[in-house]
Amino acid sequence: MRLSPFLAGPLQSALRLLLPLRCLVCSEPGHDGLDLCRACMAELPWSGYACHRCALPLPKGALPVCGICRDESPPQTATHASLLYLPPVDALLRRYKFHQDLAAGRLLAQLMQRHPPPWSCPPLAPVPLHVRRLRQRGYNQAAELCRLLDQPVWRGLRRRRHTDPQSERTAEQRRDNLFDAFEVHGAVPPRLTVVDDVMTTGSTVLEIAETLRLVGAREVRVWVCARVP
């Protein structure tokens, strides 16, 4: 019988006090307080030099803003990705997002804490799920990351309509799919950081940042666990 994520989280925390750390990638003993062994930790694709506005990886020595963002400045002030969406991070994120593997989510949040943005983050604003998708998945992976990051969270962002999955869509189709998909309830903070698990083309955070700026947010920053290079 599958446990509800809300029951599985406390149960996993209790088990961690009794069981040794174990690598979630290869099952070897964990290292440095993580469920990740020394060898797999050495293979982590940490993000390096990247565009300040969209976190797209850039070659060293390039301008700090990519050509796309120079041609059309995005509504977010800055974007930071802690990791790149490459092995073994991609598999961990799929386990977390689609298979209720909250242990993988906890590990990913710990990795985000080890490579945070170069700015003060709070409050965090998780990318919302529509209630229909939330019922299917059982939890919001972005909201769970915010909880694990242990920083103040603002929950006034809502998804006003159900949208089709973004996978296998072009960047233009993704923007069209998300048009007018989000709304704000209550007063918006003047500065906040939107949090999500993966950033692919950036369509989701672009739409959210535009929505937040329209209702009064002066600075919208973005922090994602992983960026597709």
Nearest to 98 by CA among 173, 13, 34, 5: 5
* Pairwise pLDDT comparison (179 vs 196), residue with the higher score: 196
Distance CA 117, CA 223 (A): 7
In this prediction, residue 137 carries a pLDDT of 85
In this prediction, residue 13 carries a pLDDT of 56
pLDDT tens profile 107-140 = 999 999 999 999 988 999 999 998 888 888 889 9
Residue 75 has pLDDT above 50, yes or no: yes
Question: DSSP character for 192?
Answer: E
Q: Say which residue the tokens 């209550």 belong to.
A: 186
In this prediction, residue 62 carries a pLDDT of 95
What are the CA-CA distances from residue 31 to residues 14, 38, 39, 40, 205 (Å)? 19, 6, 9, 10, 34
Report phi then psi at 160, rounded to 5. -85, -20
pLDDT tens profile 91-111 = 999 999 999 999 999 999 999
* Pairwise pLDDT comparison (85 vs 134), residue with the higher score: 85
